[in-house]
Amino acid sequence: MSSTKSLTTLSVEVRSVQRKFDKWRTTRPRLSRIPDSLWEAAISLHPRHSLNKIARILHLECAVLRQHLPFSPPPTRKREKPTQRFVEVTPLRVAAVNEYLVEVEDVRGRAVRVRLPCSRGGIEGVVELVRQLRQETT
């Protein structure tokens, strides 16, 4: 990319920093380090421009430019506390079921099993039976 072409397509801010670097390169003593003020000017273009683009335009090594970024720890995500949600369980519609098998366990681990014909109150009858059994086993 030629210098004149890059000047016409770059923003005013980038061109200004590029001119500062060009001026420094023409007036600097041989093998001198880039001054902090120029590094700060280059870094000021980030994050509006990528580090790769800045390094390419200013003729810098991207890894060295990255070393001049101020340290900022990676953003931490807030952990969401798990929330209890109600999950509705709809009964399956099975045509050939003749009975319900109800098993209720108390806090000590004792279990009661009851087989209940489907014709006796439907699912509401099963729910009521479970409530009664829970009261008797606790």
Query: DSSP string of 103-120?
Result: EEE-TTS-EEEEEEETTT
Q: Which tens digits make up the pLDDT trace of 70-113?
A: 776 666 667 676 666 666 767 666 556 677 777 777 667 777 77
d(CA 115, CA 123): 13
Mean pLDDT across the chain = 75
**121 pLDDT more than 70:** no
Question: What is the model's pLDDT at position 86?
Answer: 63
pLDDT at residue 111, as a whole number:
78
User: Whole-model pTM above 0.85?
Assistant: no
Do the Cβ atoms of 7 and 19 come closer than 8 Å? Answer: no
Q: Convert the pLDDT of each residue in 89-101 to its tens digit.
A: 676 665 566 777 7
Burial of 130 (0-12, 13-18, 19+ CB in 10 A): middle
Give the integer Cα–Cα distance in Å for 100 and 109. 21
Of 10-14, 17-21, 104-108, the least confident: 104-108
Average pLDDT over residues 35-44: 87
